[in-house]
Amino acid sequence: ALKAGIVGLPNVGKSTLFNAITQAGAESANYPFCTIDPNVGVVEVPDERLYKLTELVNPKKVVPTAFEFVDIAGLVKGASKGEGLGNKFLANIREVDAIVHVVRCFQDENITHVSGTIDPISDIETINLELILADIESVERKIDRSRKNMKGGNKQYAAEVECLEKVKAVLYEDKPARSLELTDDEKLLIRDLHLLTMKPVLFATNVGEDEVGQEDNEYVVKVKELAEQEGAEVVVISAKVESEIAELEGEDKEMFLEELGITESGLDRLIKAAYKLLGLETYFTAGEQEVRAWTIRQGTKAPQAAGVIHTDFERGFIRAEVVAYDDLIACGSMGAAREKGLLGLEGKDYVVKDGDIMHFRFNV
Ligand code: GDP
């Protein structure tokens, strides 16, 4: 399963946010493939379409799709030099597919800031620098190795070195590797390095509990400016408020959100943004027993999408009946969609689209 890692300096609100995530808690019985680990929280992806489908089909059970957040605490200045538990944390970041970078944008005299003042831009630069330094080390080591292998005149290694030199130059300018435009071939060449600064990032600006639903404070404004330059997303959130919301359910939750003047919790916005950041899409299965959302990467073909449900579905794949979400909603039922010719019969090369409702036919 794909994972998003939560990083940030100490005392910015990571644990508070992570606790809200685990408290909001997904029904773990539905997600047997998920990791059981105190540092991993499973979140269900809120999706309006799932509830519309439920109204249409009236199933016994509804299951949203889910993914994992990993709490990567303890990143401090000097981590790339092995300070604190530096290397261990960098190794944890290497394993995630996207990064949620929590930055402190709340004022509270009682909570110490590691560097003395609240300055989200400098905080972001501190973390970025550690990641960049770690990447420089990986890139330089790889260049040395590839140079040695190149001696025999191997073209593959020559291309690799050329690409790595470009990456290195960008890193030496204190810029993340993701800011470099690489071709798909080049990306493939350096993929196995799992560079930390190649991973997509979103900033979660942690604001004070009295600032929810208000205009952005000066710190958030600055982070948004920086994010725009980097092409990154920003989610404004109050970790403290989210930990309170996470304790509520149903009507109580709705009433609390209403009091705050918001329609959606910050956590739900964060989950949706992280899902997008991971490059994930959703398709649905809709039967009388169960309406369920499933996660695929963009560009996944029908047999592999079926494999998300069960490997047998992929192995024995014959065809898939497919109807687009909007078509199904417009028609009101599967039967009506079929009559109008909107139910397609697709083969193994069909690329599944976000929102498709799929029914797989397969051999056992
Ligand atoms: P971490 O070190 O990044 O995991 O930070 P924590 O989640 O442990 O938070 C550090 C301290 O800041 C804790 O005492 C939290 O209660 C507090 N804190 C977190 N978010 C907020 C907030 O939005 N407002 C205020 N006033 N305090 C917060």
CA of 238 to the centre of ligand 1 (A): 10
* Sequence ranges of the domains in the chain: 3-46+65-117+199-277, 126-197, 299-362
- Of all protein residues, the one whose alpha carbon is nearest to atom 1 of ligand 1 is 11
Q: Within a 10 A sphere around the Cβ of 320, how many other Cβ atoms? A: 25
Euclidean distance between CA atoms 171 and 163, whole angstroms = 13
14 is in an annotated binding site: yes
**How far apart are the CA of 11 and the centre of ligand 1, in A?**
6
User: Which atom in ligand 1 lies closest to the alpha carbon of residue 8?
Assistant: 3
154 is annotated as contributing to ligand binding: no
Which atom of ligand 1 is least distant from the CA of 12? 3
282 is an annotated ligand-binding site residue:
no
Q: Look up the pTM and report it.
A: 0.88
Range list of β-strands (E), the chain: 3-7, 40-44, 61-63, 66-71, 98-104, 201-206, 233-237, 280-286, 290-297, 317-323, 344-346, 357-362
Measured in Å, residue 320 CA sits from the centre of ligand 1 at 49
Residue 248 Cα, ligand 1 centroid: separation in angstroms? Answer: 20
- Ligand 1 mean position to 21 CA, how many Å? 15
- Shared fold status for 3-46+65-117+199-277 and 126-197: no
What pLDDT sits at residue 36? 73
* Contact by Cβ (8 Å): 208, 234: no
Cα–Cα distance between 179 and 363 in angstroms, integer?
A: 46
| d(C-alpha 66, C-alpha 34), whole Å | 9
Which three-class secondary structure state does DSSP give residue 248? Answer: coil
Which is the closest atom of ligand 1 to the Cα of 9? 3
| Ligand 1 centre distance from Cα of residue 83 (Å) | 23
Residues with CB under 6 A from ligand 1: 8, 10-16, 73, 106, 108, 111, 206, 208-209, 238-240
Q: Is 12 annotated as a binding residue?
A: yes
Can you tell me which atom of ligand 1 is nearest the CA of 102? 3
Report whether 16 belongs to an annotated binding site: yes
CB 246 within 8 A of CB 20: yes
Of 124, 129, 128, 130, which Cα lies nearest the Cα of 80? 130
The residue to which tokens 């725009």 are assigned: 228
Question: Annotation-wise, does 65 bind a ligand?
Answer: no
Burial degree of 363 (CB within 10 A; 0-12, 13-18, 19+): exposed
Q: Whose CA is nearest to atom 17 of ligand 1?
A: 13
Burial class (CB in 10 A: 0-12, 13-18, 19+), 341: exposed
- Of 91, 186, 197, 199, nearest to 135 by C-alpha is 197
Q: Please state, in angstroms and rounded to a whole number, the distance separating the CA atoms of residues 50 and 271.
A: 16
Residue type, 32: P
Q: Which CATH code is given to the segment(s) 299-362?
A: 3.10.20.30
Alpha-carbon distance of 161 to 168, in angstroms, equals: 10
Q: Which two tokens stand for residue 320?
A: 């898939």
Conformational region of residue 332, where left means phi above 0, alpha means psi within -120 to 50, and beta covers everything else: left
* Whether complex ipTM tops 0.90: yes
CATH superfamily label, 126-197:
Obg-related GTPase Ych/YyaF, coiled-coil domain (1.10.150.300)
Structure tokens belonging to residue 360: 């797989």
Task: Tell me how far apart the terminal alpha carbons of the chain are, to the nearest angstrom.
Answer: 25
Topology, domain 3-46+65-117+199-277: Rossmann fold (3.40.50)
The SS3 call for residue 289 is coil
pLDDT tens digits in sequence order for the chain, 364 residues long: 789 999 999 889 999 999 998 887 777 777 777 777 778 899 999 999 999 999 999 999 999 999 999 998 766 666 666 665 566 778 889 999 999 999 999 988 888 777 778 899 999 999 999 899 999 999 999 999 988 887 767 778 888 899 999 999 999 999 999 989 899 999 998 988 999 999 999 999 999 999 988 899 999 999 999 999 888 899 999 999 999 999 998 899 999 999 998 989 999 999 999 999 998 999 999 999 999 999 999 999 999 999 999 999 999 999 999 999 999 999 998 889 999 999 999 999 999 999 999 999 998 7
Q: Which residue has the tokens 């291309």?
A: 159
Strands 98-104 and 201-206: parallel
